[in-house]
Amino acid sequence: MFQSQEAIDLSERYEQGQRNFQEFQLRRADLRGLNLSHTDFRGVDLSYTNLREVDFTGADLRDAYLNEADLTGVNLTGANLSNASLIKIYLIKANCYQTDFSGAYLTGAYLTKSKFKEAKFNGAYLNGSKLSGAELGDACYDEKTRFDTSFDPQTAGMKREESKKKSLNQSQKPLELKLNQVVNPQTISLEKVLEIFNHLTATSHRYLGKTMTQKHWHSSRPLFEWLEEFEMIKSTEIRFKGELETVLSPTKIQWLQAWVKTFMQNCSQIVQHYPKMLDYQLVNALIAVDLTQTRESNSLQNSSDVATEKMNPLDLISA
């Protein structure tokens, strides 16, 4: 069988005892059939890679990028793929016994006829995944796991794990907030806004990369001077340069809502399932705030707010 240069290089290093391959760039590589058990590929970009029948037993693939990779027949027994990006992967007829997919993005993935006995899907995104013929008996999930509404994990034999912080009297049904649900603006702080921004950034970064994510944030930002206090550092984390305010004014909340909604729409034009990858319980803490009862008076104190009084920023967002 013909082997690519990347496959030959990996195989030789593996035979020499090397197990840490975090420095490798393997996007679109052909690695089919390799033995890569108990290796460390944390954070490595394996998107679009041919990984058919690769042995990843016990491998560490945390935070790795495998978007649209072909993992048909792969062995992931005991592997750790927590927080990995597995969007639209072909994970068909694979052995995923006790594989950890916690927090992983499996949106639009093909998981047909794979064995997931005792696998962990806590906090994973399985929106749009194809699960026909998948063996999910004894696989775990929790209230943060995202499934299509038509999929019943209990019928599939999956086990729900309750969060330790969950109240004993709380409903067993996962909390699913709707976009039109009213949220009290007094609950919004800059710390919460930054948490939302960085959640959106992490989701976008997994599929669009750092450069495109930065461009979308800049192009989506409305012309409101206060918003320039937000900056993205090299790690793609978004920070606020100014003073952290205890309470945000309704005007500032409106512009933040406009920015977030525009950013989400721009990402959705490229990544079809982008909205389904988001934690709406978190994002709704900002975009579902009801400002109808808390509009600022006409006598706004600074010139920036006066300029915005003539225009509702949410009018800039198409329905």
Query: In this predicted model, what pLDDT tens digit does every residue of 43-54 receive, in sequence order?
Result: 999 999 999 999
pTM confidence score = 0.63
Pair 245, 162: CB distance under 8 Å: no
Average pLDDT of the chain to the nearest whole number: 82
Rounded Cα gap, residues 240 and 190, in angstroms: 8
Give residue limits of the domains in the chain.
1-176, 185-316
The two structure tokens encoding residue 113: 């006829």
Residue 186: pLDDT over 80: no
- Cα-based distances in Å from 302 to 14, 137, 194, 199, 291: 63, 60, 24, 31, 20
Rounded Cα gap, residues 319 and 314, in angstroms: 10
Give tens-digit pLDDT for 89-109.
999 999 999 999 999 999 889
Residue 262: pLDDT over 60: yes
The mean-pLDDT minimum among 41-55, 153-167, 199-213 falls in: 153-167
CATH top-level class of 1-176: mainly beta
